[in-house]
Amino acid sequence: MRMFKEIFKKVFMSEEVSKTVKEVNNIIEDTKIQVKGGLGELRLDFILSRLGKDYVIIKDIIVPGSNKTTQIDSIVISIYGIFVIECKNFSGYIYGNDKDKVWTQIVRKTKNTFYNPLRQNYAHIKAIENIIGNKYNIYSIIVFSDKATLKNVMISGNNIRVINESEILSTISKCKDITIGKEEIKIIRDKIFDCMKTTNQNIREHVRNLKNITEEDKCPRCQIGHLIKRKGQYGEFWGCSQYPKCKYIRK
């Protein structure tokens, strides 16, 4: 019996086979995360579609920012204002406020930090204002997965909302002050669309920008999570926010 065990180890647990198994497992995990992220996007699209015909929805926008291109998850335009939405597919407990540079995520007993999403969305809003002007009432909405629990999330701005996915409709619907004329909605939409006509160029620039990894970059493996700073046994490193489902690490 011992002899068969040794043969099994040599044949099936060799370095090459172990490496292949690890690669296959990574592919399986990445596929699971991508499917989950895709379903999340479809779920968000469905929720926003229920707002009705008075709301114009633009999704997955890449536009020029101050120093580089920036990608915006969704923009909703209505007579009640403009809603710039940043989605975070995070789970666990979330802590932070509008003044912190980084926020904290606690999953089980693991403590992670990630770039302040309000700062990230502020850059998105400024990019939109560069296109349409700064005279409009713009709301910054940060949406976390319903699997995330917002703990001690402190914000002070009147036009800032940090919510869970299930609160999107009610949050937008509560804004009832008319601040934009119906004819202006088309003007705003067309200005954004005109900017998006250079999408191919913007995408190329955006891909180049992504090569310079920053605190708000998406995980290069799963393309869903974000790189967040963690502390390990041998010091700090950057890991995917989707851990343990995605185990990408950059030291």
Neighbours of 24 (CB within 10 A): 10
Lowest-confidence pick of 48-62, 138-152, 176-190, 229-243 = 229-243
pLDDT band at 214 (very low <50, low <70, confident <90, very high): very low
Looking at the predicted structure, is the pLDDT value of residue 70 above 70?
A: yes
Q: Residue for token digits 């009610």?
A: 170
Identity at 249, one-letter amino acid code: I
Classify 163 as helix, strand or coil.
strand
Whether the bond between 244 and the residue before it is cis, its omega within 30 degrees of 0, is yes
Pairing state between β 138-144 and 160-164: parallel
Separation CA 140–CA 142 (nearest Å): 7
Which pLDDT does position 239 carry in this prediction?
82
The pTM for the full model equals: 0.69
pLDDT in tens, 148-197: 999 989 888 889 999 999 999 999 999 999 999 999 999 999 999 888 76
Adjacent-strand bridge partners of 228: 239
Q: Residue for token digits 């989707």?
A: 242
Helices (H), the chain: 2-12, 15-49, 117-132, 168-173, 182-196, 199-211
Greatest mean pLDDT among 26-30, 60-64, 68-72, 119-123 lies in 119-123
Neighbours of 64 (CB within 10 A): 17
pLDDT in tens, 5-50: 565 555 555 555 555 655 656 556 555 555 555 566 677 788 899 9
Give the count of alpha carbons within 13 A of 191, CB side only.
13
